[in-house]
A and B are shown apart, each in its own frame.
Chain A
Amino acid sequence: MQVKINGAVDEIPDNSSIRDVLTARKLPVDIVIIALNDEIIKREKWASLKLNSNDRLDIIRIMGGG
């Protein structure tokens, strides 16, 4: 199915969870913040929450800034 990840359309397997997406991209799960359709998703829900077609997933991190 198609979802939008960080603004770009991406193809992911059906029934993927947020954690599946992070694992597939080898992202360090301890440092990212997840927004699904503009709503922050708490870490505890990443494994259980399945993505739907056309969802907008934002994977955000904190970095240096002034």
Chain B
Amino acid sequence: MDDTLIIGGRQVESRLFIGTGKFADYSLIPQVIKAAKAQVVTVALRRVDFGTPEENMLKYLPENIILMPNTSGARNATEAIRIARIAREAGCGNWVKIEIITDQKYLLPDNFETIRAIEVLAKDGFIVLPYMSPDLMAAKRMADAGAAAIMPLGAPIGTNRGLKTRELIQILISEINLPIIVDAGIGRPSEATEAMELGAAAVLVNTAIATADDPVLMAEAFGQAVEAGRKAYLAGPGAPQRFAAASSPLTGFLRNEDGVAP
């Protein structure tokens, strides 16, 4: 079966996207990417902190990945656009995850500023993947503005709480004609499977892998979970029923149809 994910004209081999934050050691990252069989990998840009030693994280990333710098730290569209352009100039390619946040408690994205940023960056040749609060009207406007995919949150960033926005994500999957990628909140492989069974095109996982006791093993588990969920979605699950429906014949051995022993 042809089940190719295409984003911005590019074929994406793996439906598990990986974030690279919070890893205890950058040297874990190539192992995690390999174990997860991930292809799309996010990175962030920051002003250098003169007080701490710097390591080049790019040297840990394999050659064949699609780099997706995020605009974390941006509080409005103008800042996000600036970060995206810096990332492209720095050789990160033309994919960008728009992330615009002013709410420091729940780190919920600003959909309005995000739509503004998409309008500018899509026209400027970027493949734009916006991180967003799952709202149908906002998602439609993001699609109209030129987004290549829509990335609704399952739960607030880093909470490992799972698909708390399940109903709203389901609406996006059904109504938006773009890949829907569940970004943020997924804490366990079973939740990644759940998102994929709903029909999500992919999931983006960072904290759940980076903060596991064994991140490499967890990456492998997530890779398998995403594949399983995708296959289940394609296979078309049977409908839930209220009452039991026997899987084995109940009659004709010890009793007849009328319940009376022969």
Cβ of B54 and Cβ of A27 under 8 Å apart?
yes
Give the residue of A28, A30, A38, A64 whose beta carbon is less than 8 angstroms from that of B22: A64
B242 contacts A by Cβ under 8 Å: no
- A1-17 CB mask vs B (1 if < 8 Å, else 0) is 00000110000000000
26 contacts between A and B (CB under 8 A): A7-B47, A27-B50, A28-B54, A31-B56, A31-B58, A33-B45, A33-B90, A38-B82, A40-B86, A58-B47, A60-B45, A60-B47, A61-B54, A62-B43, A62-B45, A62-B58, A62-B90, A62-B92, A64-B26, A65-B19, A65-B42, A65-B44, A65-B69, A65-B70, A66-B20, A66-B184
CB atoms of B50 and A25 under 8 A apart: yes
The contact string, 1 if C-beta is below 8 Å from chain A, for chain B 40-83, is 00111111101000111110000000000110100000000010
- Number of A residues with CB within 8 Å of any CB on chain B: 21
Is B21 close to A, CB under 8 A? yes
Q: How many A-B residue pairs have CB under 8 A?
A: 88
Tell me if A47 is interfacial: C-beta within 8 Å of chain B: no
Q: Report the separation of the CA atoms of residues A32 and B85 in the bound assembly, to the nearest whole angstrom.
A: 15
Contact of A66 with B56 at beta-carbon distance under 8 Å, contacts A6-B48, A59-B48 already known: no
Which partner residue on chain A sits nearest B71 by CB separation?
A65
Q: Are B86 and A60 in contact, CB atoms less than 8 angstroms apart?
A: yes
Chain A min CB distance to B258 (Å):
63
Are A66's CB and B54's CB within 8 A? no
Q: Besides the contacts A35-B86, A60-B86, A66-B184, what 20 more A-B pairs have beta carbons closer than 8 Å?
A: A27-B48, A31-B54, A33-B90, A40-B86, A40-B89, A58-B47, A59-B47, A60-B48, A61-B46, A61-B48, A61-B54, A62-B43, A62-B58, A64-B20, A65-B19, A65-B44, A66-B42, A66-B44, A66-B70, A66-B207
Tell me whether B43 and A65 are in contact (CB under 8 A).
yes
**Is the CB–CB distance between B45 and A61 below 8 Å?**
yes
Give me the interface of A with B, judged by CB distance under 8 Å. 6-7, 25, 27-28, 30-33, 35, 38, 40, 58-66
Does B94 lie at the interface of the complex (its beta carbon under 8 Å from any beta carbon of A)? Answer: no
Q: Which of A27, A33, A62, A66 has the most CB of B within 10 A?
A: A66
Report if A65-B72 is in contact (Cβ < 8 Å); known contacts: A32-B48, A33-B90, A40-B86: yes
Chain B residues bordering chain A, tally (CB within 8 A): 36
Q: Which residues of B contact A31 (CB under 8 A)?
A: 54-56, 58
Complex interface: chain B residues within 8 A of A60 (CB): 45-48, 86, 90
Min Cβ gap A65→B in Å is 2
Q: Please, which residues of chain A bring their CB within 8 A of the CB of B20? A: 64-66
A28-B54, A30-B56 given; A66·B157 CB < 8 A:
yes
A38 to B50 CA separation, bound complex (whole angstroms): 20
